[in-house]
Amino acid sequence: MSRAIKLLGMEITPAQFALIEHCLPLQRGNVSMTNLQVVNALLYVAEHGCKWRGLPERFGNWHTA
């Protein structure tokens, strides 16, 4: 199953995330973002030095991230 994933900047792939997923708490309740999306949002803020409000829309609502 080969699938091309376009990475924008410093993002991790689902395969890479699988290696660190056990280090994160389990998601509970009605969540709108996966832990992978949250990690990639953190990496975006770290790489670009922006504020949370500066996250692109592809990361969803910045309040959620």
Over the stretch 31-42, which tens digit does the pLDDT of each residue have?
A: 888 999 999 999
Q: Is the pTM of this model over 0.85?
A: no
Q: For the beta carbon of residue 44, count every other beta carbon within 10 angstroms.
A: 21
Rounded CA-CA distance 59/62 in Å is 7
- Per-residue pLDDT at 58 exceeds 70: yes
